[in-house]
Amino acid sequence: MKTIILATDFSESSKDAARYGYDLACRIRAKVIIVNAMIITAEIPQTGFVTWPDQEFDALLHDYETEIQKFRTELEARVSPDSYLPKLVCVNEAGRLTEVIRKATADCYTELVVIGTHQGGMLSSLLIGNHAEQLIDTVTSPLLIVKPGTVFKPLKKIAFATEFKNPKQDLEIIYHLTRFAKLLNAELLLVHVSDKPENTASLQKTLADYLLELSNKANYPHIYYRLIHNAKIEAGLTWLCEHGQVDMLAMVHRSRNVLAEYFGLSHTKKMNKLSALPLLVFHLQHNG
């Protein structure tokens, strides 16, 4: 059975994301795991806090258990009697969200991890960091990042942005996306942003190879291609998200070394900041 993990800290933005993920799970008939990572101040030495007494930890755990069960009831109430009701499991774990999610995904095959974008202020950022950006770098399962206030609606078109530089890796992801699109009866749009002419021989050959491979193996007729003329990838994709009647943007994030990250965010992280659409991230290990 497909499994979707909904990561929440019970903030309104994380609840919005969890609601979106739950409604999506109903559509694709997936099992749901709600995961809450309890941040214990003693685990963060730079804050200067001391270890919490056991009784206070127990009280905190009880509060979280109450909250997660309350949220579970809310989610299940969203499902009409004649619709699919996902099997739902709740997990409360002490630790940093990245580690708790890593453990949860290791324990079962995870189709998707859903998280909301971080909305805290400066103090919150110092304590827990930017969850979405941390998970982009660490989660190996597909990661769906949902912006605050996003309400689930039927997905009619999913855009996958690619530079056509890693055909084998791209095709593996496209096959994964094709299975996802089939469940939703959605179009899959392959998008390439470039300021080079579309009719270059190398690009035409790459496209021909892609489409031939897809027609032979994907067995899904609703796959299309679009070239967006723009010198900057983020500008082209932002235009697509705003004017291309797209419901979700999918991208590949390749892990970069610390120096590369210091000099600039990856395209994926930039689009996480720029786009209002749900962003589906596929993580690949890559140094450079």
Q: Residue 248's pLDDT is what? A: 98
Cα separation of 23 and 113, whole Å? Answer: 14
pTM as predicted: 0.85
Domain boundaries, the chain: 3-146, 157-251+260-279
Residues 216-233, mean pLDDT to the nearest whole number: 88
Per-residue pLDDT tens over the stretch 69-117: 999 999 999 998 888 999 999 988 888 888 888 888 888 888 899 999 8
Q: Residue 129's pLDDT is what? A: 43
Q: Residue 156's pLDDT is what? A: 96
pLDDT at 185 over 90: yes
Cα separation of 251 and 191, whole Å? Answer: 10
Q: Which letter does DSSP use for residue 42 in this model?
A: G
Cα separation of 178 and 186, whole Å? Answer: 9
Contact call for residues 144 and 115 (beta carbons, < 8 A): yes
Tokens of 174: 């496209």
pLDDT at 20 over 90: yes
Q: Residue 214's pLDDT is what? A: 78
Q: Residue 53's pLDDT is what? A: 60
By percentage, how much of the chain surpasses pLDDT 70? 82
The 3-state DSSP class for residue 91 equals: strand
Per-residue pLDDT tens over the stretch 41-81: 444 444 444 455 666 767 777 888 899 999 999 999 999 88
Q: Residue 255's pLDDT is what? A: 65
Tokens of 279: 């962003």
Q: How many CA atoms lie within 13 A of 180 on its CB side?
A: 25
Contact call for residues 28 and 117 (beta carbons, < 8 A): no
CB-based contacts of 220, cutoff 8 Å, min separation 6: 178, 181, 182, 188, 214
Residues 201-214, mean pLDDT to the nearest whole number: 76
Per-residue pLDDT tens over the stretch 4-13: 999 988 888 8
Q: Which residues are registered as beta bridge partners of 68?
A: none
Look at the alpha carbons of 188, 175, 101, 285 in this order and tell me if their dihedral is positive or negative. Answer: negative
- Which class is 157-251+260-279 in CATH? alpha beta
Per-residue pLDDT tens over the stretch 119-145: 544 333 333 446 777 888 888 889 999
Q: Residue 130's pLDDT is what? A: 64
Cα separation of 59 and 57, whole Å? Answer: 5
- Which class is 3-146 in CATH? alpha beta
- Residue 238's pLDDT band, with cuts at 50, 70 and 90, is very high
Query: Does 157-251+260-279 match 3-146 at the fold level?
Result: yes
Question: Which carries the bigger pLDDT value, residue 103 or residue 118?
Answer: 103
Q: Mean pLDDT for the chain?
A: 82
